[in-house]
Amino acid sequence: MNTKKYYLVIPGLVAALLLASLAGCSRQHTEARSMEQIYEEEGIPVRVDTIRYQTFEKNLAYFAKLSGVKEATKSAVIGGKIERINARVGDRVHANQVIVEMDQTSPGFQYDQAKAAYENAEKTYHRMKAMLEAGETSQANYDGAEAQYLVAKRNYQAQRKMLLIDSPFDGTLVDIKVRPGDNINGDTHVFTVAQLDRMHARLWVTEREVLQMLPGMTAATSFNGKTYRGKITEISLAADPFRQAFYVDVEFDNPNRELRSGITINIEIQVYENSRAITVPRNLVMRDTNGEFVYLKENNTAVKRYITNGNSSGIDYEVTGGLNIGDVIITHGASMVDAGRRVRVVE
């Protein structure tokens, strides 16, 4: 190729590329300007909803551990060997029913001696009582026999209580922590009995939260796909000095014993309800120096409306002022509009 022609071609190509680039930018600018013109002429596309009365609820949520409405863990009085267990987990047991028997030959027990002394003292007592009634002995002799009998009886009962560990009340045996043959120490937890027809949970709440609660308020929880309803039964009047919080006791009906003792669940307390509330989603509420506002659609125009909020939940605001039934609120596209801009409703 002729060198001179080569140098003439290169500038021509560069010029053509520059002209094409400028033409593309010009077209993009024209298109952007056209979109703005479309918004001006036809309106910014938005979606809307009509304000109507709705039910508004405010709930406070807590995690808590469930237990039977009445629950107690029995412990061994002194150390020794477990001889026998008379029930299984899940059994219904009665007050004073013996659940665990300790080995009466353990060194810590004097059960046989106490039982023998009690039986002998009882016989002597009854004999002296009969003799007193027949006038064959003195009141002093009878009183002495009675005192010995009562002491022997208390000693025998104390030994029996250490040897035979019984249920404190009617309920369900929810766990057994020992097995036959185990050697345990004194104060070892042996078993737990609970009344499971109702379940109890204790919540710890702040000073601000406790002021919103009253006995009888509704509580709800879910377990294994099922919802359970309960209520507040007791609210403390003084803060716990260590937790710096107030306790709130909640109970749930559990007729089929589906709720289990010891599980941790989420409990919601309904502290407020309004069946004729005006509500708006929190994400639609904006703020400027004059306060909080939403955008309404009036005559195909965006209108800024300042609102007053009452209660709020995690999703919605309860609006106590600024909105009326029938107002049309912009739900989608609100971030693109300004007061006075033309809007167009799209599906």
Domain check: are 89 and 180 in the same one? yes
Domain check: are 170 and 204 in the same one? no
Tokens of 332: 């989608």
* Average pLDDT of the residues in 117-125: 91
pLDDT at 309: 86
Identify the residue with better confidence: 196 or 112.
196
Domain check: are 244 and 270 in the same one? yes
| Residue 49 predicted with pLDDT over 60 | yes
* Average pLDDT of the residues in 140-153: 91
* Average pLDDT of the residues in 78-95: 93
C-beta separation of 93 from 87 below 8 A? yes
Q: Which of 73, 68, 97 is nearest to 164 (CA)?
A: 97
Q: Is residue 90 part of a domain?
A: yes
- pLDDT more than 90, % of the chain: 68
pLDDT at 80: 86
Domain check: are 152 and 228 in the same one? no
Q: Is residue 225 part of a domain?
A: yes
Which CATH number fits the domain that encloses residue 248? Answer: 2.40.30.170
pLDDT at 106: 67
Q: DSSP characters for 288-322?
A: ETTEEEEEEEETTEEEEEE-EEEEE-SSEEEEEES
Domain check: are 150 and 211 in the same one? no
pLDDT at 22: 45
Tell me the per-residue pLDDT of 51-70, one tens digit each, with 9 for 90 and over: 999 999 999 999 999 999 99
**Domain of residue 89, residue span:** 82-187
Tokens of 213: 């609660």
Tell me the per-residue pLDDT of 8-21, one tens digit each, with 9 for 90 and over: 444 554 445 444 55
Tell me the per-residue pLDDT of 224-248, one tens digit each, with 9 for 90 and over: 999 999 999 999 999 999 999 999 9
Domain check: are 27 and 100 in the same one? no
Number of domains making up the chain: 4
| Residue 34 predicted with pLDDT over 90 | no
* Average pLDDT of the residues in 16-39: 55
Domain stops at, among 274, 301, 329: 274
Identify the residue with better confidence: 66 or 24.
66
Residues 6+ apart with CB under 8 A from 146: 125, 128, 129
Q: Is residue 71 part of a domain?
A: no
Q: Is residue 327 part of a domain?
A: yes
Domain check: are 5 and 87 in the same one? no
The whole-chain average pLDDT of the chain stands at 87
Residues 6+ apart with CB under 8 A from 53: 275, 276, 277, 278, 325
Q: Is residue 76 part of a domain?
A: no
Separation of alpha carbons 65 and 267, rounded Å: 10
Q: DSSP characters for 39-85?
A: HHHH-EEEEEEE---EEEEEEEEEEEEEEEEEEEEEE-SS-EEEEEE
Domain stops at, among 245, 274, 303: 274
Tell me the per-residue pLDDT of 304-332, one tens digit each, with 9 for 90 and over: 999 998 788 878 999 999 999 999 999 99
Domain check: are 225 and 309 in the same one? no
* Average pLDDT of the residues in 242-270: 95
Domain check: are 110 and 100 in the same one? yes
Q: Is residue 183 part of a domain?
A: yes
Domain check: are 230 and 178 in the same one? no
Domain check: are 287 and 320 in the same one? yes
Which CATH number fits the domain that encloses residue 290? Answer: 2.40.420.20
Tell me the per-residue pLDDT of 271-290, one tens digit each, with 9 for 90 and over: 999 999 999 999 999 999 99
Q: Which range (29-38, 212-221, 233-242, 303-312) has the least confidence?
A: 29-38
Domain stops at, among 246, 274, 302: 274
* Average pLDDT of the residues in 84-89: 95
Q: Is residue 243 part of a domain?
A: yes
* Average pLDDT of the residues in 166-194: 94
Q: Name the residue type at position 215.
A: P
Name the residue with tokens 């046989």: 112
Q: Is residue 311 part of a domain?
A: yes
Domain check: are 169 and 93 in the same one? yes
